Chain A
Amino acid sequence: MSFKPQHELHQRRFGRNMGVGLSLAGFVVLVLALTIVKVTSDDFKLPKIQTLEQN
């Protein structure tokens, strides 16, 4: 069994797919960074419901 050659469609759309992929990856990294900054800031407080459950 051999691999089928990549269809021309995928080759032609490589740039577009790569752009979308990198944009999404960048968005994920950004959300992660934002989350870390938010939860490590001095102002961060757990929501009230979770605080009650912990008590």
Chain B
Amino acid sequence: MTRSQKTNGPKMSDASLHASTLREDEASFGDYFALLKPRVMSLVVFTALVGLLAAPVAVHPVIGFCAILFIAIGGGASGALNMWWDADIDKVMKRTKGRPIPAGKVEAGEALSLGLALSGMSVVMLALATNLLAGAFLAFTIFFYVVVYTMWLKRATPQNIVIGGAAGAFPPVIGWIAATGTMSVEPWLMFALTFVWTPPHFWALALFMRNDYDDAGVPMLTVTHGRRATRVHILVYTILLAILAVGTAFSGVGGPVYLAVSLVLNALFLHGAWKIWRRDEDDSEADNFKVERSFFKLSLLYLFLHFGAILTEALLKPFGLGGW
């Protein structure tokens, strides 16, 4: 006897028609929201906001709010499409097996529908709220993350993170275009900052989440080229990142505050990368990857504070203080 029959008796009732839909582990609103990868979305919101506010054009607060919201929804939609496609490997990896699809809360098809619907809605609404170029860039970003990164590169090449990182780097560019309707060098410097930051951030994660990517068969650098090569790559990318990040201080979005923040953060980040490079697996296992874990945590702070410094420079400009 089904639950509905216990409740309403054996006769045919409205509820018994829906008996097949009754599930104890039924998804809540929060489970559908989790499909949008809220933590990634918070990075998208913040960097897009910085791009929007650093642009040399004043935006009406309502239009600015709409722009950020639809960029965030577009980013979330691509997260849902990513979870739909990657459901098979998400259930293998410790880090991702609690996600709504592998946890059995949401069907993969539901994630696909939600992702497609929100993608279309966010692109159209961003284009209507701001301009066509911003809408087109958001559409391209979703395409890049879902098709180029998730469907193609992620399982095909150890450079997946390097090229796929571009998808996460687009939001400040979209924010800037939403404000200005045009492109210039500054948003691309913000793009480059996130783009070059992504590989060392994820490779540090791959070093201490060692079995996850192996078990899922994702060709991370740690799996294809070995852990020693990954440590070398982290150092090389961190050096490139430091040059780029400090150089950005002398652009239109930089200034003394940004320069000071960037110098301190890059010194710390380079020191962390150098320590990772010097270590071998025995050292790391002895302290349960303490250095790699702290480098990963620092990387989160690194990006947040760099964009925070760009935002500070932009907010100081009306008072005649920001920039050079």
Q: Which residues of A are at the interface with B, using a C-beta cutoff of 8 A?
A: 7-9, 12-13, 15-16, 18-20, 30, 33-34, 37, 41
Main secondary structure on B side of the interface with A: helix
B27 at the interface (CB under 8 A from A): yes
Query: Please, which residues of chain B bring their CB within 8 A of the CB of A8?
Result: 3, 7, 15
Distance in Å: Cβ of A34 to nearest Cβ of chain B: 6
Contact of B62 among A7, A9, A33 (CB under 8 A): A33
Residues A16 and B27 in contact in the complex (CB < 8 Å), given A8-B3, A37-B63, A41-B60:
yes
- Whether B29 and A34, one on each chain, are in contact in the complex, defined by CB atoms closer than 8 angstroms, is no
For chain B, residues 49 to 106, give those with C-beta under 8 angstroms from any C-beta of chain A. 60, 62-63, 66, 69
For chain B, residues 5 to 27, give those with C-beta under 8 angstroms from any C-beta of chain A. 7-8, 14-15, 18, 21-22, 26-27
Main secondary structure on A side of the interface with B: helix
A20–B63 Cα distance when bound, in Å, is: 23
Distance in Å: Cβ of B182 to nearest Cβ of chain A: 16
Q: Which residues of B are at the interface with A, using a C-beta cutoff of 8 A?
A: 3-4, 7-8, 14-15, 18, 21-22, 26-29, 32-33, 60, 62-63, 66, 69, 128-129
A-B contact pairs, 21 of them (CB 8 A): A7-B4, A7-B7, A7-B14, A7-B15, A8-B3, A8-B15, A9-B4, A9-B18, A9-B22, A12-B26, A15-B29, A16-B27, A16-B29, A19-B33, A30-B69, A34-B62, A34-B63, A34-B128, A34-B129, A37-B62, A37-B63
